[in-house]
Amino acid sequence: MAVTVNVRSLLSEYKLPADFKNSLSVLFLDNADRVHSRTRVSSKKLSVKTQGYRLQKLCHSFVELRENGYALQSPWAIKPKHVRFLVELWVRKKQSAGTIENKLTYLRAFAGWVNKPTLVGALADYVDRKEQGLIRTYSALEDRSWEGNKVDAVAMINEIAETDPVVAMQLKLQAAFGLRVEESFLLRPKESVRRDGLLSVTRGTKGGRDRLVPIQLQTAVLEEAMKYCNTLTGSTIPDGCTKKQWKNHYYDVLKRHGVTKAGLGVTSHGLRHQYLQQMYETVTGVPAPVKGGGKKADLKLHREALKQVVEAAGHSRPSKANAYIASYNSLAQQRSAAISFEQVTAAVETAGGNKTVAAAAVGISRQALYRILARNEGTVPFRGYVPKRVTRKVNQN
């Protein structure tokens, strides 16, 4: 089995007993490139980057166990109690739901390597996700596009071009075709343009999912990219640079121009969001839900738009589109959660008890208004309001 990550070098960075490292080394060499994901469609082995990241997280988990009194003599000795302790530790450290779930995924893969398929449960098996604030949403709750944050993409990219035309060109690729950052680095423009008017995206993709993206009227962007192709690889990474070196340079240029969350409030990934949101609007004729316009798309067109967005983004399930355009339900729940009981009762009083009018006044549905009122069932905020209760009929013999 061809393992491309340097296991020996990786293990040398962690304070673990020599025998423990030897056992890990055998497990890693045999399994490092094995795919665990159930949604991956590519037959390719895991990339060196993914292999290394997974092994690092596993090593760090064993270090955390030893630092907290669990001196396992062998990685094969890991038990459910150890996994439970790790989850509780990560929760105490205030790590996000996504971070913890990713670590559990790595441990789940490791459990398969040591023949313990039931070792690792879901996050909900260890903690109350709601109580700990670990509810993970797969729908966008904020607009991450540049236009949504009042950043003029054309003007900003032109400004960056004065500092580094290659970085600017890669940003144009992301904006024109919805590419991820690494996809824009590894794209080979001279090889990727097809005669049928589609762009073939095959390198740097997530989960090895190759995809085709419509070129439409964006030929000028590709023609510009062809001028900067690496003479050896054909990618857009300049001659003499490794991918890591170029990545560091790329983000340094963006930082100097304020293209960060702390600066202008956007990252280059926001151009991908913008591309997919524009695709949704083109198909449906109305802005994406995350834009907050309030107007809903025709259901049939909405579903077609989700399909096209997912295909263009290179994901496996239609629901993944919500990460870019949001869902109406998740946004409604967010608005409802932000409205207090006092705001609702005041709106109802102002509306003379008309709950439909009151709900519209605070920007929620009538059903959401009732749910907020039900949180305070012991209070009667206005005449005529009776909290909804569940009554049961008792059979008497």
pLDDT (tens digit per residue) in 326-385: 776 655 555 555 667 777 788 788 888 888 887 777 667 777 777 777 766 554 444 444
* Residue 266, pLDDT above cutoff 50: yes
Q: Which helix (H) or strand (E) holds 81?
A: helix 80-92
Tell me the average pLDDT across 23-31.
Answer: 92
Residue 49: its pLDDT value, please? 78
Closest C-alpha among 264, 273, 271, 321 to residue 297: 321
Q: Which helix (H) or strand (E) holds 272?
A: helix 269-284
The two beta strands, 198-201 and 211-214, are antiparallel
* Residue 68, pLDDT above cutoff 90: yes
- Tell me the C-alpha to C-alpha distance, in Å, between residue 235 and each of 202, 211, 261, 299: 12, 17, 28, 40
* Residue 258, pLDDT above cutoff 70: yes
Contact, 309 vs 280, CB < 8 A? yes
How far apart CA 237 and CA 385 sit, in angstroms, is 66
Residue 334: its pLDDT value, please? 52
Tokens representing 60 are: 């760090």
- Tell me the C-alpha to C-alpha distance, in Å, between residue 266 and each of 40, 270, 309, 347: 29, 6, 21, 36
Contact, 386 vs 380, CB < 8 A? yes
Closest C-alpha among 340, 350, 334, 352 to residue 379: 340
The radius of gyration computed from the CA coordinates of the chain, to the nearest angstrom, equals 26
Residue 53: its pLDDT value, please? 86
Residue 50: its pLDDT value, please? 81
Type of residue numbered 301: L
Residue 47: its pLDDT value, please? 73
Please state the domain extents for the chain.
Answer: 7-125, 137-326, 339-397
pTM (two decimals):
0.67
Closest C-alpha among 137, 131, 134 to residue 100: 134
Question: CB atoms < 10 A from the CB of 301, how many?
Answer: 14
Type of residue numbered 338: A
How far apart CA 359 and CA 344 sit, in angstroms, is 8
Instruction: Map residue 199 onto helix, strand or coil.
Output: strand
CATH of the domain spanning 137-326, picked from 3.30.365.10, 3.40.1050.10, 1.10.40.50, 1.10.443.10: 1.10.443.10
Tokens representing 372 are: 């907020």
How far apart CA 186 and CA 206 sit, in angstroms, is 13
Q: Which helix (H) or strand (E) holds 201?
A: strand 198-201
pLDDT (tens digit per residue) in 151-179: 999 999 999 999 999 999 999 999 999 99
DSSP conformation class of 229: -
How far apart CA 201 and CA 214 sit, in angstroms, is 11
Closest C-alpha among 178, 177, 190 to residue 216: 177
Structure-model confidence comparison of residues 45 and 297, the more confident one: 297
DSSP conformation class of 214: E
pLDDT (tens digit per residue) in 281-290: 999 999 988 8
Tokens representing 274 are: 């913008």
Q: How confident is the model at residue 116 (pLDDT cuts 50, 70, 90)?
A: very high
